[in-house]
Structure 1
Amino acid sequence: MEWLAGPLHEAGFRVVALDHHGNNFVDGYEPEGFLHVWERPRDVSFVLDVLAREQPLGPVGVAGFSLGGYTAAALAGVRVDPRLVWAVMTGAVPLPEIPEFPGALEALRKKYPLDESLRPALDSAGADFSDPRVRAVFQVAPGVGGLVTRESLETVQVPVGIRWGGADTVNPYEVDTRPYLDHIPTASGRSAGPDVRHEDFFLPEPAHSAVRARVGGEAAAFFEQHLA
């Protein structure tokens, strides 16, 4: 995430990047880290609590790529629909393949019984994880757009900037980005390029090497405008 953290740091922001449990290169992967996405905004609020004990935070912005894009939006009030989460878990709604963790859903089913005893835990997915300290959000190729509720999208009041790849097949525009862009009243955004793929934001040698630097600079400019 240096392409995003670097420009923010150079613009004078205090920048923190999170390793979410079960979804990072340090500790390895667990299926919950990819599928229990509603736990991620709680991680951010926890880190903000820790940082606030060290020194005053000032205005807070959250930027995120892919699942991080959902995480950022959840901190502004966006909620997932527990009914859709249950449908995904049971296979009623197909889950697109996760490149970093193929077979994540099968791995989750091996750990937990897929019966009504699981439903109360999944109901917490629809809780409000907004954090009043968050004043602006920047999403890059955001995920989970197909699982969030339109009602919650319409409640977002902080500025939201969005960028996406026109050739993204992991988080396609129509499924994952468009709900945020169309239904968050404060959202604005544009494509990072018609040929830009999801992978171009994280591969060591992406096909479009300049895209990350450009989007990172746009994120910094967005936060300079809205967190000044």
Structure 2
Amino acid sequence: MKLGFREGILYDDRRLDWDAAGPRPVRWSLWYPAADNAQECEIQERSWFRKAAVARDAPIRPSDRPYPLVLLSHGTGGSAAGLEWLARRLVDRGFAALGVDHHGNTGSEPYRAEGFACLWERAPDLSLMLDRCRDWLGHFAGRIDADRVFAVGFSAGAYSVMLLLGAVTQFSQFERSRLKPGGPRGPREFPDLADHIPSLLRTSDVFRESWFRMSRSYRDDRITAAVLCAPGRSVLSFGADSLKAVVAPSLILVGDADKAAPAEECSCWLHERLTRSALKIFGGGLGHYVFVPEGTGLGMAFAAELFTDPPGIERGAVHDEIAALSAALFHDGDGGAIGRTKKAPFPGL
């Protein structure tokens, strides 16, 4: 199937950007089935990631029914491009996929401590895309279904998706009272994050207002099922009662050798507290970054640890399996394969 691609930017008038200079920007990328006669071209930009050829701004492929929509939320410091590998595989399975770059917490712009500390601001970015679907759908209106939607998040993106399902944050993992002696003071991409929070609370009205929104509910009932890839320690901040109230089915995927978000500490913890979840732990020594794209020569030169897997592991094959599991859950519709009232250790979808 030909891969169509469009991108753009929306502005959220309800929230300021971190400089308080204007509305919060939400950059978006859309992958979709393109018309059979569309012309695909290789992407010329220098990138750490391998990317497939796309038919930029091509007409959408005719279909008897609107294409189901999957929202994508990247890991901390990443970008929508980091989930292109999943987007194109979902397109091959009859979906459209829409990713966003989360302001201040994305590699598509300069990193901001505010964006890394206030992860809860990422969930409204995704809801905004549904609220303002006419602005990005354009002449695709009626061809993509923005009323019944699925979501996939990786690492901090899994936290974002859980907020959409109804989880509520009780605390920030990097506030002073939560830090352990000698423990991390921030994520890999912003290792001194905790040291910025006190001064931001004193000096930034935008940051302070966001901090007070930490424990707001960001539930969006338009999200009917979700895949959570290697959820990070940020999920440990969710209140138990809010997790019990999550009704949408979810599939949690993680590698058995994930050091950034250990399976027992994060994924298993979350699975045990959700009533409609399935858990799959990939064996073979797979780490956290198996959920990012295959690397180019440039990527291997600058960050080989992101793109190197154990001997005998083909990342592309793992990605194929993840896409197949995701599509099976979404095609199932109401999550019946996971079950309505019980946890499952991954029964097969």
Contact 2:118 2:210 in 1 (8 A): no
Secondary structure, aligned partner of 1:3: helix
Matches within 5 A, 1:1-228: 1-52=83-134, 54=137, 55=141, 57-81=146-170, 84-85=171-172, 88-94=174-180, 96=184, 97-113=186-202, 121-143=210-232, 144-202=234-292, 204=295, 205-207=307-309, 208=313, 209=315, 210-226=317-333
Contact 2:227 2:250 in 1 (8 A): yes
Structure 1, 191-200 or 63-72: larger mean CA deviation: 191-200
Contact 1:145 1:178 in 2 (8 A): no
Secondary structure, aligned partner of 2:279: strand
State the 1:121 CA deviation. 4.7
Contact 2:201 2:208 in 1 (8 A): no
What TM-score comes out, normalization by structure 1 length?
A: 0.87
Secondary structure, aligned partner of 1:88: coil
Q: How far apart, CA to CA, are the structure 2 residues paired with 1:73 and 1:107?
A: 26
Greater share of strand: 2
Q: How far apart, CA to CA, are the structure 2 residues paired with 1:194 and 1:13?
A: 30
Aligned-residue Cα RMSD (Å) equals 2.4
Specify which structure has the bigger relative contact order, considering alpha-carbon pairs within 8 angstroms and separated by 6 or more residues: 1
What TM-score comes out, normalization by structure 2 length?
A: 0.58
Q: How far apart, CA to CA, are the structure 1 residues paired with 2:106 and 2:174?
A: 23
Gaps of 5+ in 2: 1-82, 296-306, 336-349
Q: How far apart, CA to CA, are the structure 2 residues paired with 1:168 and 1:88?
A: 21
State the 1:183 CA deviation. 0.9
Identity %: 27
Gaps of 5+ in 1: none
State the 1:36 CA deviation. 0.7
2:332 maps to amino acid: Q
